[in-house]
């Protein structure tokens, strides 16, 4: 049943990043796409995803700024976030941990690694 799929919101300013995520995950999940953090925030008023996959470097609002807003809102503060970014810099990884990220995946990534991380986070949320 399609409507029983868990919703994942992928946020990335690069179309190729969004389509890659959707291609990898659409068999098992309802993948919704946002090409900016501002669009993603607006989308949250229409549905609550079980997981957010988030790029860090985006125009207007970074993934970190988006996560800060998310964590400050009691309605959305419990949504797990996995950063999917090209930044392998330990400083960025530390910052992601400080923001309570449930994962950090560096692009380019192996599709199976993304699937495994998403499943692990969603299974943790279920238990």
pLDDT level of residue 1 (50, 70, 90 thresholds): very low
Q: How far apart, in whole angstroms, are the C-alpha atoms of residue 91 and residue 112?
A: 25
pLDDT tens figures, 47-97: 999 999 999 999 999 999 999 999 999 999 999 999 999 999 999 999 999
Q: Contact, 100 vs 71, CB < 8 A?
A: yes
| Structural domain boundaries, residue 57 | 2-126
The count of structural domains within the chain is: 1
pLDDT higher than 80, residue 111: yes
Q: What's the mean per-residue pLDDT of the chain? A: 94
Average pLDDT score over residue span 8-27: 96
Q: What is the CATH number of the domain that holds 100?
A: 3.40.50.2300
Q: Contact, 50 vs 7, CB < 8 A?
A: yes
> pLDDT at position 2, please?
46
């Amino acid at each position: 049943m399609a409507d029983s799929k868990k919703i994942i919101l992928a946020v990335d300013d690069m179309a190729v990043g969004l389509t890659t995520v959707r291609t990898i995950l659409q068999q098992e999940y309802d993948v919704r796409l946002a090409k900016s953090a501002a669009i993603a925030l607006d989308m949250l008023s229409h549905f609550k995803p079980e997981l957010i996959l988030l790029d860090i470097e985006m125009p207007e609002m970074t993934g970190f700024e988006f996560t800060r807003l998310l964590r400050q809102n009691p309605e959305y503060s419990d949504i797990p976030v996995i950063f999917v970014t090209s930044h392998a810099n330990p400083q960025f990884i530390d910052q992601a941990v400080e923001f309570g990220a449930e994962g950090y995946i560096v692009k380019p990534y192996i599709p199976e690694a993304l699937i495994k991380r998403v499943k692990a986070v969603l299974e943790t949320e279920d238990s």
